[in-house]
Amino acid sequence: MLKEYINIIDRYIRDEFPLQLREVSVLAYKIIALILLFLVLSFVLKRVFIPIIRWIVFKSKRPFYIACYNRHVFRSFLNFIPMLFCYWIIEDVFYRSKRFLPYIDAIFNWLIITVVAVILHRLIKAVEDYADGNQLNYNATGIKAVAQSMRIIGIIAYVIISLSIFLRISPGSIFAGLGAMTAVVLLIFRDTILGFISGIHVATSRLFKVGDWINVTKYKLEGNVIEINLLTTKIKNFDNTISSIPTYDLISTEVRNAQVLIDKNSRRIKRSIFFSIKSFKFIDLVAYQRLQRIDMLKDYFLTKEMEIHRLEEINTGEAVDEYLINGKQLTNIGTFRMYVYNYLKRHPQIDEQQPIMVRQMEITPNGMPLEIYCFTKLGIWSDFENLQSDIFDHILVAAREFDLDIVQTVASS
């Protein structure tokens, strides 16, 4: 049927057109007819199927399908179908112009490869959009770097296949010719290759993702990751400046991921207060009577009955040796250490499941450090800092009740 219509049009052109224009006219109308056929089929398919696809995509509410729709992946696929149909009928259309058929066939092969390349390019972009919309998923980390690498590989493959179509040589021959240039290519694309490997490593090892709070020791950077691409990783510092570092450097240097503190809603307090050793002393009965009114020390004092009994003996003169240094005694720094420990244990924002320590550190020329070590139930930085300040405000003031002097350096005038 198709050949009959083509024969009719061919005869009409050969009868009505001048001799020198006949062959060109026949070839031109066939090409124009194929273009029109492609456009009509593509238009009809899109008018019929795009509304259906849109309804299915937004009805399912799946982010990946929505990303594919927004990137026109389905439209490109609907272009691919009429292109295949036109390629399928070119032998029937050009059967009377066989000397042009190899060239037409090469052009159609190139067009089909181009349409496939466009579909794959848009599909990769859709995957990137899907990954950007799922930044909380560690599996999505590094997708952008991998996608960029795939696009570069795809462009190279597209160029080589296109050359093989028009030059009528196999792609393998072109690749063999490029083998001699491997060293040059590796030198030129060193950062790209390293970035590709780094992207895969970051994605598979789940080191960090976009949005994580990280600390890069080598560059003294600390902030939130805002982008991970093929060559660079962008970090938004806490002063709102943006730093860029090579992506491949992230697998060869120390990177601390502090996002776990926020995700688990827990942060560590590790801070010391320096006390003057000259203020350390044994607790006498007067100090004991004052301190026993502190609720957080009542349980502690119950465990120290022997020391408290000795204080009472010394006060009444019943002790054989009335020097406090003889026998077991309570000290103000030891009692204060237990007070701080109980204070932290009872604090509603301190995690009791994590280690809680109040310990003496090595004595320094500035005094003896008393280190507070515990974990909070607050992960947000600002909330944590406010809590830590409240805790140390209380501890610093409470030290006065135990007659302890906090060391502070006085600037010389």
- Could you report the per-residue pLDDT of 267-308, keeping only the tens digit for each? 889 999 999 999 998 888 788 888 888 888 888 887 776 666
Distance of alpha carbon 222 from alpha carbon 237, whole angstroms? 6
Cα–Cα separations (whole angstroms), residue 380 to 213, 225, 346, 386: 11, 17, 21, 10
Sheet order of strands, 213-216 included: 242-246, 232-237, 221-228, 213-216, 255-257
Mean pLDDT for 208-220 is 82
Q: Which of 45-54, 66-75, 190-199, 297-306 has the lowest mean pLDDT?
A: 190-199
User: For residues 303-325, b (16+ Cβ closer than 10 Å) or e, as one string?
Assistant: ebeebbebbebbeeeebeeeebe
Confidence class for position 412, pLDDT limits 50, 70, 90: very low
- Residue 367 phi, psi (nearest 5): 120, -170
Mean pLDDT for 169-174 is 74
Query: Which of 8-12, 116-120, 139-143, 155-159 is modeled with the greatest confidence?
Result: 116-120
Q: Which of 149-163, 198-212, 361-375 has the lowest mean pLDDT?
A: 198-212
Question: Checking DSSP bridges between strand 213-216 and strand 255-257, what pairing results, if any?
Answer: antiparallel
Confidence class for position 10, pLDDT limits 50, 70, 90: low
Tell me: the pLDDT tens digits for 12-44?
A: 556 555 555 556 666 676 777 788 888 888 899
- Residue 238 phi, psi (nearest 5): -75, -10
Tell me: the pLDDT tens digits for 327-381?
A: 567 889 999 999 999 999 999 999 888 899 999 999 998 899 999 999 998 878 7
pTM, rounded to two decimals: 0.48
Distance of alpha carbon 333 from alpha carbon 34, whole angstroms? 95
Q: Structural domain boundaries of the chain?
A: 2-200, 207-258, 267-402
CATH of 207-258, one of 3.20.20.120, 2.30.30.60, 3.20.20.70, 1.10.357.10: 2.30.30.60
Distance of alpha carbon 112 from alpha carbon 119, whole angstroms? 11
- Helices (H), ranges, 238-357: 259-263, 285-291, 298-302, 305-316, 332-346
